[in-house]
Structure 1
Amino acid sequence: MLKKILFALYILVIVVMAAATFVEKFRGTEFVHASVYGSWWFVGLWAVLALLAVAYFVGRRVRRASVVLLHLSFAVILAGALLTHVTSWQGAVRLRVGETVSTYYENVSGGDVVERKLPFELRLESFDVKYHDGTRAEADYVSRFTITDGGATQRAEVSMNNVWKYRSVRFYQSSYDPDMRGSILALNSDPWGIPVTYAGYALLFLSLVWLLVDPKGAFRRLFKSDMMRRGVLSVMAVCAMSQAAGAANTLPRETADRLGRLNILYNDRVCPLQTFAVDFTKKLCGSARYGDYTPEQVLAGFIFYGDEWSAEPIIRVKNGPLRDALQLPGRCSVNTFFNQVMGGYILGPYLNEYYHGHNGKFHKQVADIDDRLMMVMELRRGTLLRVFPFTSGGKTTWYSPTENITDTLVDEAHRKYMQNVFSLIYGEVLASSYGNVDKILDKMLKYQQLNGGSSLPSAAQVKAERLYNAIPFATILFMVNLTLGVVLLIIGLVRLIRPVKTDEPDRPDKALLRAVPVVGGALLGLSLLALTACIALRWIVGGRVPMANGYETMLLMAWFVMVLALVAARRFRIALPFGFLMSGFFLLVSHINQMDPQITHIMPVLSSPLLSVHVSVIMMSFALLSLTFICGLTAIILRLVRGRNAVELDGQLDSLALLSRLLLYPALTLLGVGIFVGAIWANVSWGAYWSWDAKEVWGLITLMVYAVAAHAASVPFLRRSMGYHIFMTLAFLTLVMTYFGVNYFLGGMHSYA
């Protein structure tokens, strides 16, 4: 009876947390924190669950130290969370330069804000926003203030990921006033909850690692199973748009390439103009190339042959209500949307409706097309071409040729050069004097090198970015990996249904089937090398670990899947198609429009060494769990194809379950460690180790759901291989929700990942 009550309560806690994330989406963060996460009944629910779990654990008389330590760590973590809930306080203080403040503001139940007294006084001395050289991309926020406590004073400095602690109060940079004369600091005092919770996390880390190395633990016992010794798994060896463009004029390819070698301030980052050309072309026609034209030629066409290219059917219009309502073809020109007979700009009335609250699919398509058209208009006006740097006093500013330069430090000679050089190029283009155009572009590059200061990318970064732009890694690899994965999986299923027998020495496909694992492993290795090169190039170009957004974490997930598949394939050949399929899936997801592959400066809050540890550990865990999903899916397919009474089916299902469990334990360990590191990072950056953000909640749900699979001794359903596979297949939905559901539906402060 105790086990049934405990199991029901465990499910209830998971359901409540999952439901709360959806309530937050529609009712707001303050409501759900007051009504759910901060309520007495939610705290009580966790307390009862913990007490029942302790009673059940003691009743089972578990003596293995690693298991005892693991469950003890959860009790300590919950105790720390309770102390934080009861004893801590949080608030915010608004400071203005030169003013003394002795109060702070605290949010209380119901969303009300209460002013409270500080035990000391604060005076803001200065506030600065630091930018990346030559851009307006924020690199850090720095507040310098003085703490006065009685007769003693102390100077303090707070920035992103740099906390200041005084007595039991910690100060965090939260926000700032638009006039740069004020700063908002977050305050947190939690002297008891944090050390207890951190102790619990440390115990969790030690116990999880201990479980993996414990000779008598469940994980090590899997390696000693009869199936591993008999090599049953070896029996399951699995061998392992472009639109036709017209003849619109543009620069010759060599000259356009020279144009692409110039630098430009784009997306708050100084980069080769080629990058802007690639993004410009992709945004217009959905591909990095248009017919036989390179991206640089497309860009040059709109700059120097604007009228011709405005008549070119380059703008891709997706199927949808806009295309149906206006009877538009799949490819339109810019001129299509400017029709005097229909009143000028034909999207104008619908765009006005969009800005007045009409946000259905039709109006969203209108806004998307309008965004692309305005980009063309701005390019033709020259406002997007911020290619002229000027450095004075160590500060670099980038200007466009049509910009009204108000900076008095820019002398007349530089002004005239910026304003006239494109007119000079245009004259040479009209005369088809492309040799002269080449010379002018070469001089422009030298001008940038002389005046760009420290804002210019290094030679290595330029080479890396041009190579990265030239090869569509994700597009190629997702097609290759998915294709090879499907082929290998089909071959594997055929072999499982009709295994090679020793009394069939002349079977014609026997040699081929034996060669497939070797070839498959080699191809997966080559794919891994290509993806490694892609990630390395992004690292060089961005000057940071590429783990800061959804696109980059998908690449990282695919990388981990391929590495793990290659390692596992030495013993389990079935890992090869798993590796191809899951890495191909993650690369496909990175390729879809919802993820932006542009390389940008990292947000200040992410400028922490804990970023790479947190993200890489979590992604490795997700990669392992995705492979358990493929194991489960393969088992279900085998059962459906071969039937319940097929010979050798039970052995194959058991083998897949063994492989899945071998992946499960390190996955749980990595997920627990990732959450632990994330909690430390959150405490350093936001002042709270756990904020009940949607991503945090679903990460916890994922850990709790997959942890059930490690308790087969208490859940009879999981002792049967088919039951285990069904559970692991369904459990994967929590991982999908954690990553994609939060990012693209629920939102939250983690939605950038």
Structure 2
Amino acid sequence: VLFSLNNKIDGAINITSDGYYLYIESSFNGSYMRMIDQFNGRVEKDIQDELQYRSLYNVAGLQFVFPEPIISGDYKLVKNEEEETNQNLLKLKVSSNGEESLIELAGGKGIADQYQTFSLAGLDFSLKYGSLLYELPFYIKLNDFIAEKYPGTEKSYSSFMSRVTVDSDNAFDYDIYMNHILNHKGYRFFQASFDPDEKGTILSVNKDFFGTLITYIGYILLYIGLVAIMFYGKTRFKDLSVRLDKLKSKRVNLSIIFLFFSTAITAQADYTHDGDNFSMDPTIKNYVVDLEHANKFGEIVIQDAGGRMKPLNTFSSELLRKVSKSDTYNDLNSDQVFLSILRNPLAWYSEPIIYLKRGNDSIRNIIGVDKESKYAAFINFFDDSGNYKLSTYLEKAYKSSLPNQFEKDFIDTDRKVNLFFSALEGEILKIFPVPNDKNNKWISQSEVKDYNYQNVDSLFVNNIVPLYLKELDNGVSSNDYANAERILESIKGFQLKYGGEVVPSEDRIKAEVLYNKYDIFKRLFLYYFLAGLAYFIFIILQIFNSNKKINKIFNYIFKVFKILIFGLFILHTIGLIARGYVSGHAPWSDAYESMIYVAWATMGIGLLFAKKSDLTLASTSFVASMILMIAHWNWMDPSIANLVPVLDSYWLMIHVSIIVGSYGPFALGMILGIVSLFLMILSTSKNSKVIKHKLSELTIINELALTIGLVMLTIGNFLGGMWANESWGRYWGWDPKETWALISILVYAFVLHMRLIPKMRGAWLFNLMSIIAFASIVMTYFGVNFYLVGLHSYASGDKVITPDFVYYSFVFVLILGIISKWRYNKFLSK
């Protein structure tokens, strides 16, 4: 049977269009069934009728469906506004003998297209756009491509590797993977990417043996020179150290009023906290699982959505923190809460546990809770008919390419609701390994029916959780959890039997549970703050005191504070080591980890200058506490995650530790700059001599700190170039973070060399610039991570609106600079 479009033929099935609708006119009788509502209709012979889309036609013994309307238009390449691709379009205007033609050539990096041929004014042209093709003096054959994924995931790759044979004079096999390159006859092959079907590999190649050798030698000489200026010869750094020692040896009677400033503790508004107490449902309150047993339950291993294997204690902590922004709920820890949800999910439908962001009354009005409510219950988000109250607003919010704060709050709340729902349904309790699964996938009990467990194993996975919950009820009633604990041991045995390959060691599980229990970095915020505050108070008391005997007592007190802060620094170090051990990688791979590492580096630099200045150490303790506080604000995720392949490298230990560590000295320089400007504001004709002495001391320490920071940042940046060359075969790619790190180097190099410009010398301008320059570090760290897209980004594509504190900080520095300049010129510039 013949089909015809817009050309009526007798004996055919004719389809015609009037520009808006399609019509069918058949030379045969037939029928159709509309799939959406199962409606049955008839096709009458030689009668024109409107064509029904997505309907099954049965005409002349043929069955056919028109799924969509006919698409009409011009075929051409257009710009993709949604995402960038490797393919570009080059438009050329070709002219010859007065004739012109517009030629479009598709191509780009890594694309070698065919020549496009055309004739113009009697001449034949062949043009193409893309990469040049070079022939290697040998062949490489791909034997196998292996893409290893994190357990239970489909697209979360832990590593990928190309197994190749090099067909040369002496053929040999070799494995190419990230940070493990193939060197052969001066050519270097890098694992760049792979085909989506994981059957083909993409390698990048370069040839520059002598260039690489000379470049690396130059880098090493640079590192040696930068480090040497701090220890050898007649350098500015050595001269400043000598001057600082001379200032320290002078006995000056300090009789000034020191202005102590601090960020209000109310800044903790977004800080993770202990949960509020509510009147709990009696079925929850009266059946709380014993804490000791809950802790044992927390040691069961679970697989998260990213494929990380971790104890349930970590998982329940993350769940409670994401849903309620709290670490506890009504004095129940996260394990007790999660067990209660598993035992009695219906009771938790009405518990106010889902955190509502402050200031957004729209969500509260929509779900029908009080404007002052900080939390809502799951049931509040649904009407009496079971309809989701936020659905109307979420469709627009998720489609928005640049969601406003209103839409972002809806998206954030929706994610909390869905996460809590998956907990109520038990879908996230993935504790059962699938036997012989190539990706080591683990599943929850609700997924068991979709997998082919055999015999006893089938009975186990289908019944062990209900049995455990039943024994848990008996344990709550009798306070005897022996049977429940035996079931937990059987679950551990099942996990080791089929998932032992990915189950963490017993020591690592216990270490992670202890890490969660003590939450050292959250505690250190308060400890550092209190130590710094008390240290400042005693410094002020010493300033008002002129009695030598009492001053000796103060000196002993200062030694105690130094020992105390050093002890906190040791705890900080232990915390970093513990996180590194638990995660299996260096603890500075994401936003949260780099923040706690910057706090550690800042505190380390402060201790380095502890002998030179008590005020510096007190300031450093304060700065470290503020950094840790920011690290625990809600937009920082403290969860431990798996590494992307490129970060799974020893270069992470070297490059990132140095470059992120440099932020510590810069942060110290910033706070010393602020302290110095406040001292200038406090200056009078009576105390100018004393303030000049203290100002000289702080300014020298500031310059020393900035010098250390600049040396570390420069070395770290060039080490990043070496890492990039070993990973991708290029030193510099103008990645946003690379570029902003370079800008920061130039900014601080300028600040440190302003003393060579006559009009830019002086303590006021130097200290002011040490504050302003820190904005480049903030941009390098936060701006790149959360605004721009690149290899170093953490924001996962979220559009970030500039926080209000940025504008407040600008106004604060502006006012501080103007007032301090006035007082400096009046009392200190002579």
TM beyond 0.5? yes
Match of 2:702 among 660, 678, 697: 660
Matched, 1:334 2:375: no
**TM-superposed deviation, 1:425:** 2.5
Which AA in structure 1 matches 2:300?
L
Which AA in structure 1 matches 2:239?
R
Q: Could you list the runs of 5+ residues in structure 1 that have no partner in the other structure? A: 1-25, 35-89, 95-100, 104-110
Match of 1:587 among 628, 631, 638: 628
When the two structures are superposed, what TM-score results if normalisation uses the length of structure 1?
0.79
Secondary structure at the counterpart of residue 129 of structure 1: strand
**Residues 547 and 505 (structure 1), Cα distance of their counterparts in 2 relative to 1, 3 Å cut:** closer
Matched, 1:175 2:208: no
Aligned to 1:244: 277
Pairs aligned (count)? 650
Q: For the residues of structure 1 that align with 2:437 and 2:307, how far apart are their CA atoms?
A: 20
Which of the two has greater helix per residue? 1
**TM-superposed deviation, 1:271:** 1.3
CA contact (8 A) 2:786 2:794 kept: no
Aligned to 1:422: 465
Aligned to 1:366: 410
**Residues 568 and 552 (structure 1), Cα distance of their counterparts in 2 relative to 1, 3 Å cut:** same
The structure with the larger Rg is 2
**Residues 324 and 232 (structure 1), Cα distance of their counterparts in 2 relative to 1, 3 Å cut:** farther
Q: Give CA deviations for 1:727-751 in whole Å, capped at 9, x if unaligned.
A: 2121111111111111111232112
**TM-superposed deviation, 1:476:** 1.5
Secondary structure at the counterpart of residue 230 of structure 2: helix
Aligned to 1:39: none
After TM superposition, list the pairs within 5 Å mapping 1:134-149 onto structure 2.
Answer: 137-147=156-166
Q: For the residues of structure 1 that align with 2:251 and 2:324, how far apart are their CA atoms?
A: 48
Aligned to 2:665: 624
**Residues 291 and 172 (structure 1), Cα distance of their counterparts in 2 relative to 1, 3 Å cut:** same
Q: Give CA deviations for 1:53-107 in whole Å, capped at 9, x if unaligned.
A: xxxxxxxxxxxxxxxxxxxxxxxxxxxxxxxxxxxxx95489xxxxxx999xxxx
Superposed CA RMSD:
3.4
Secondary structure at the counterpart of residue 174 of structure 1: strand
**Residues 133 and 369 (structure 1), Cα distance of their counterparts in 2 relative to 1, 3 Å cut:** closer
Aligned to 2:391: 348
Secondary structure at the counterpart of residue 161 of structure 2: strand
Q: For the residues of structure 2 that align with 1:369 and 1:27, how far apart are their CA atoms?
A: 26
Match of 2:734 among 692, 695, 709: 692
Q: For the residues of structure 1 that align with 2:135 and 2:384, how far apart are their CA atoms?
A: 66
Q: Could you list the runs of 5+ residues in structure 2 that have no partner in the other structure? A: 1-80, 90-107, 116-127, 261-273, 796-830
Aligned to 2:758: 716
Q: Give CA deviations for 1:330-372 in whole Å, capped at 9, x if unaligned.
A: 111111111216x621112112222333722222222222212
Aligned to 2:343: 304
Aligned to 1:185: 203
Q: For the residues of structure 2 that align with 1:706 and 1:597, how far apart are their CA atoms?
A: 31
Q: For the residues of structure 2 that align with 1:226 and 1:262, how far apart are their CA atoms?
A: 56
Aligned to 1:75: none
Q: Give CA deviations for 1:535-585 in whole Å, capped at 9, x if unaligned.
A: 121122112221211211111111122222223112222221122122112
Q: Give CA deviations for 1:241-264 in whole Å, capped at 9, x if unaligned.
A: 521133341433333223212111
After TM superposition, list the pairs within 5 Å mapping 1:259-270 onto structure 2.
Answer: 259-266=297-304, 267-270=306-309
Aligned to 1:323: 363
**TM-superposed deviation, 1:442:** 3.0
Match of 1:130 among 140, 144, 148: 148
**TM-superposed deviation, 1:690:** 0.7
After TM superposition, list the pairs within 5 Å mapping 1:25-36 onto structure 2.
Answer: none
Q: For the residues of structure 2 that align with 1:205 and 1:376, how far apart are their CA atoms?
A: 51
Aligned to 2:579: 538
Q: For the residues of structure 2 that align with 1:27 and 1:253, how far apart are their CA atoms?
A: 51
- Aligned-residue sequence identity (percent) comes to 28
Which AA in structure 1 matches 2:430?
R
Secondary structure at the counterpart of residue 711 of structure 1: helix
Deviates more, 1:230-239 or 1:153-162: 230-239
Q: For the residues of structure 2 that align with 1:400 and 1:178, how far apart are their CA atoms?
A: 28
Q: Give CA deviations for 1:401-451 in whole Å, capped at 9, x if unaligned.
A: 11145555x422112211111122333445546633333223222332343
Which AA in structure 1 matches 2:641?
T
Aligned to 1:387: 431
**Residues 187 and 91 (structure 1), Cα distance of their counterparts in 2 relative to 1, 3 Å cut:** farther
CA contact (8 A) 2:606 2:616 kept: yes
**Residues 102 and 585 (structure 1), Cα distance of their counterparts in 2 relative to 1, 3 Å cut:** farther
Q: For the residues of structure 1 that align with 2:670 and 2:657, how far apart are their CA atoms?
A: 20
Matched, 1:200 2:239: no
CA contact (8 A) 2:325 2:634 kept: no
**Residues 143 and 489 (structure 1), Cα distance of their counterparts in 2 relative to 1, 3 Å cut:** same
Q: For the residues of structure 1 that align with 2:662 and 2:548, how far apart are their CA atoms?
A: 42
Which AA in structure 2 matches 1:745?
Y
Deviates more, 1:482-491 or 1:293-302: 482-491
**TM-superposed deviation, 1:185:** 2.1
Which AA in structure 2 matches 1:293?
L
Match of 1:223 among 234, 241, 255: 241
**TM-superposed deviation, 1:655:** 1.4
Secondary structure at the counterpart of residue 165 of structure 1: strand
> Whose relative contact order is higher, 1 or 2, with alpha carbons under 8 Å and at least 6 apart?
1
**Residues 356 and 539 (structure 1), Cα distance of their counterparts in 2 relative to 1, 3 Å cut:** closer
**Residues 193 and 718 (structure 1), Cα distance of their counterparts in 2 relative to 1, 3 Å cut:** farther
Q: For the residues of structure 2 that align with 1:239 and 1:525, how far apart are their CA atoms?
A: 25
CA contact (8 A) 2:398 2:411 kept: no
Secondary structure at the counterpart of residue 613 of structure 2: coil
Match of 2:328 among 284, 289, 294: 289
When the two structures are superposed, what TM-score results if normalisation uses the length of structure 2?
0.72
Q: For the residues of structure 1 that align with 2:394 and 2:578, how far apart are their CA atoms?
A: 40
Which AA in structure 2 matches 1:245?
F
Q: For the residues of structure 2 that align with 1:138 and 1:163, how far apart are their CA atoms?
A: 19
**Residues 133 and 308 (structure 1), Cα distance of their counterparts in 2 relative to 1, 3 Å cut:** closer
After TM superposition, list the pairs within 5 Å mapping 1:535-684 onto structure 2.
Answer: 535-643=576-684, 646-684=688-726
Q: For the residues of structure 1 that align with 2:377 and 2:568, how far apart are their CA atoms?
A: 38
Deviates more, 1:526-535 or 1:238-247: 238-247
**TM-superposed deviation, 1:493:** 5.5
Match of 1:256 among 286, 291, 294: 294
CA contact (8 A) 1:239 1:492 kept: no
**TM-superposed deviation, 1:452:** 2.8
Match of 2:133 among 110, 116, 133: 116
Aligned to 1:400: 444
Deviates more, 1:188-197 or 1:548-557: 188-197
**TM-superposed deviation, 1:181:** 0.9
**TM-superposed deviation, 1:485:** 2.5
**TM-superposed deviation, 1:196:** 4.4
Q: For the residues of structure 1 that align with 2:685 and 2:114, how far apart are their CA atoms?
A: 74
Secondary structure at the counterpart of residue 535 of structure 2: helix
CA contact (8 A) 2:149 2:439 kept: no
